[in-house]
């Protein structure tokens, strides 16, 4: 409880920008080390002691309170989660020309984006600074603060003491049943020990953004569990089937927003910042990875450009050159804003090598709406569970959000040199993954 009080009482408000970074966490309870609850769903390496974060109930209460007290925002319930039936909220605020669609915590164990976004909403609802004015005048935000309430609240008895600890998990808690689709899709994970199975919802999107448009009975499946879509002459492998109500709600939200910018926040495991740790320089971790969504204009720059591969396996063929450039500019803004903090911990943004994932939010929303995309992936994992780790993730996310939103709002994004994106290093080696398995992050 102490930690909860701390984080909520300490301003992560945008006015103060960031916590002081001097928080001293009592990490004793956080060192549960390498226990991997249940498995084999991926991503639980990132499981936290979540007491520092808002529960679904608390988030709902906060959003309703803000909505009651501010006439600037509109709050809508756009759906309910599959397992718990908890509300999915959408906040709209601002009346600028540029539309921003922002989603957080589609992976339930990646909570920091939600916390920072709640402060952003509060600031936009009540703030009177010049910055708030600029954001409200320049942008129209459509925000889904927490896409995965089931995963966010997931509890499991990780230390077999007979009590369930609140740890969160990547997937929602929704069983696949025959009749839902021709085959059980690859991104549905069964789990042992009576824990409910669920979907990795960042694989459940479909470029149609419309569940009714999906015909998986006649379509081709590869290796039985992978649904491939034929779309405008391309084969979009491993597409999603929009089987989760959460994804259907987010897709509808994105279509309503018709965004110029589509943004999604994640966590990742720990990676070395390239070039650190050799010679006399100490090693450091990357604080955040960023990822754009770009099209054929940059195919020859892709780190995964197999010249023999179909274009849709290397880049997103539906993202035009101008939108691709804006997407790169967003990434550069984040890198520069963090580097400018003058603290070497933050001067360590890397890029997450891009290739399309046809069931993901980014690679379906961007082509369908013409949005420039940005995926933030803040670094935080088992060893970072303490208060300092959380503070760093909050800081990096806050700085990243503000750098991009302000540049979108005042148009200065157009002045950013997109070429600098290619100077951002790819993430270095992963650090001691305690489970020895590859963790799919984005
Ligand atoms: Zn994620």
Q: What does the pLDDT look like over 363-393, one tens digit per residue?
A: 999 999 999 999 999 987 544 556 677 888 9
Name which of 191-195, 239-243, 259-263, 316-320 the model is least confident about: 191-195
β-strand pairing of 220-222 with 226-231: antiparallel
Give the CA diameter of the chain.
Answer: 60
8 Å CB contact between 90 and 142: yes
CA–centroid distance, 129 to ligand 1, in Å, is 32
The answer as to whether 136 is a domain residue is yes
CA–centroid distance, 169 to ligand 1, in Å, is 10
List of residues 6+ apart from 194 with CB closer than 8 A = none
Place of tokens 């591969």: 309
Structural tokens at position 32: 């549960």
Q: Is the model's pLDDT at 45 over the cut of 60?
A: no
CA–centroid distance, 325 to ligand 1, in Å, is 24
CA–centroid distance, 72 to ligand 1, in Å, is 30
pTM, two decimals, is 0.88
User: Which residue range(s) make up the domain with 158?
Assistant: 2-423
Residue 351: which pLDDT band, with cuts at 50, 70 and 90? Answer: very high
β-strand pairing of 350-351 with 234-239: unpaired
The answer as to whether 80 is a domain residue is yes
pLDDT tens, position by position, 96-113: 999 999 999 999 989 999
CA–centroid distance, 243 to ligand 1, in Å, is 18
CA–centroid distance, 202 to ligand 1, in Å, is 8
CA–centroid distance, 110 to ligand 1, in Å, is 6
Query: Rounded to whole angstroms, how far apart are CA atoms 120 and 124?
Result: 6
CA–centroid distance, 315 to ligand 1, in Å, is 20
Q: Is the model's pLDDT at 437 over the cut of 50?
A: no
CA–centroid distance, 438 to ligand 1, in Å, is 14
pLDDT at residue number 49: 61
The answer as to whether 430 is a domain residue is no
CA–centroid distance, 221 to ligand 1, in Å, is 25
CATH, residue 97 = 3.40.630.10
- What is the b/e burial string over 14-41, where b = at least 16 CB atoms within 10 angstroms of the residue's CB? beeebbeeebebebeebeeeebbbbeeb
CA–centroid distance, 226 to ligand 1, in Å, is 20
Number of structural domains (the chain) is: 1
The answer as to whether 104 is a domain residue is yes
Segment 123-148 mean pLDDT: 97
8 Å CB contact between 78 and 89: yes
CA–centroid distance, 132 to ligand 1, in Å, is 28
Query: Rounded to whole angstroms, how far apart are CA atoms 22 and 387?
Result: 9
CA–centroid distance, 107 to ligand 1, in Å, is 5
pLDDT tens, position by position, 248-289: 999 999 999 999 999 999 988 888 898 887 777 778 888 999
The answer as to whether 151 is a domain residue is yes
CA–centroid distance, 61 to ligand 1, in Å, is 25
pLDDT at residue number 18: 31
CA–centroid distance, 310 to ligand 1, in Å, is 26
CA–centroid distance, 144 to ligand 1, in Å, is 15
The answer as to whether 168 is a domain residue is yes
Angle between helices 387-410 and 112-126 (to 10 degrees): 50
CA–centroid distance, 171 to ligand 1, in Å, is 10
The answer as to whether 442 is a domain residue is no
pLDDT at residue number 44: 42
Tell me how far the alpha carbon of residue 325 is from its chain's centroid.
21
Q: To the nearest whole number, what is the mean pLDDT of the chain?
A: 85
CA–centroid distance, 302 to ligand 1, in Å, is 22
The answer as to whether 357 is a domain residue is yes
Beta bridge partners, 271, equal 430
CA–centroid distance, 295 to ligand 1, in Å, is 22
pLDDT at residue number 102: 98
CA–centroid distance, 145 to ligand 1, in Å, is 14
CA–centroid distance, 46 to ligand 1, in Å, is 10
CA–centroid distance, 442 to ligand 1, in Å, is 4
CA–centroid distance, 100 to ligand 1, in Å, is 20
CA–centroid distance, 290 to ligand 1, in Å, is 12
8 Å CB contact between 139 and 100: yes
Ligand 1 (ion): residues with CB under 5 Å are 107, 110, 266
pLDDT at residue number 161: 83
């Amino acid at each position: 409880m102490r930690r909860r009080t701390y984080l909520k009482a300490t301003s992560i408000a945008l006015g103060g920008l960031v916590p002081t970074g001097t928080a001293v966490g009592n990490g004793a309870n956080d060192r549960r080390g390498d226990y991997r609850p249940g498995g084999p769903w991926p991503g639980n390496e990132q499981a936290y002691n979540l007491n520092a974060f808002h529960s679904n109930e608390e988030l709902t209460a906060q959003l309703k309170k803000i909505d009651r007290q501010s006439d600037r925002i509109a709050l809508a319930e756009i759906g309910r989660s599959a397992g718990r039936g908890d509300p999915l909220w959408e906040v709209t605020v601002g009346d600028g020309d540029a539309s921003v669609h922002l989603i957080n915590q589609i992976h339930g164990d990646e909570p920091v984006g939600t916390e920072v976004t709640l402060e952003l909403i509060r600031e936009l609802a009540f703030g009177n600074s010049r910055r708030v004015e600029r954001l409200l005048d320049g942008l129209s935000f459509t925000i889904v603060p927490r896409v995965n309430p089931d995963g966010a609240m997931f509890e499991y008895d990780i230390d077999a003491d007979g009590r369930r600890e609140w740890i969160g998990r990547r997937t929602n808690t929704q069983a696949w049943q025959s009749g839902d689709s021709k085959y059980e899709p690859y991104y549905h994970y069964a789990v042992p020990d009576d824990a409910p199975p669920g979907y990795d919802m960042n694989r459940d999107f479909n470029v149609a953004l419309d569940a009714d448009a999906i015909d998986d009975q006649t379509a081709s499946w590869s290796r039985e569990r992978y649904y491939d879509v034929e779309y405008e002459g391309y084969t979009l492998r491993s597409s999603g089937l929009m089987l989760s109500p959460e994804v259907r709600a987010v897709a509808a939200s994105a279509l309503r927003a018709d965004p110029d910018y589509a943004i999604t926040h994640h966590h990742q495991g720990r990676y070395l910042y390239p070039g650190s740790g050799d010679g006399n320089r100490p090693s450091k971790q990357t604080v955040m990875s960023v990822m754009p969504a770009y099209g054929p204009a940059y195919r020859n720059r892709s780190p995964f450009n197999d010249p023999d591969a179909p274009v849709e396996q290397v880049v997103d063929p539906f993202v035009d050159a101008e939108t691709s450039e804006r997407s790169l500019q967003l990434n550069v803004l984040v890198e520069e804003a963090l580097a400018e903090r003058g603290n070497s911990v933050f001067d360590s943004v890397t890029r997450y090598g891009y290739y399309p994932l046809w069931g993901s939010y980014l690679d379906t929303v961007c082509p369908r709406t013409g949005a420039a995309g940005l995926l933030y992936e803040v670094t935080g994992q088992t060893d970072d569970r303490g208060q300092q780790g959380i503070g760093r993730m909050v800081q990096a996310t806050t700085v990243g959000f503000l750098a991009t939103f302000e540049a979108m709002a005042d148009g200065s994004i157009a002045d950013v040199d997109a070429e600098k994106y290619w100077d951002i290093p790819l993430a270095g080696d992963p650090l001691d993954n305690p489970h020895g398995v590859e963790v799919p992050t984005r």
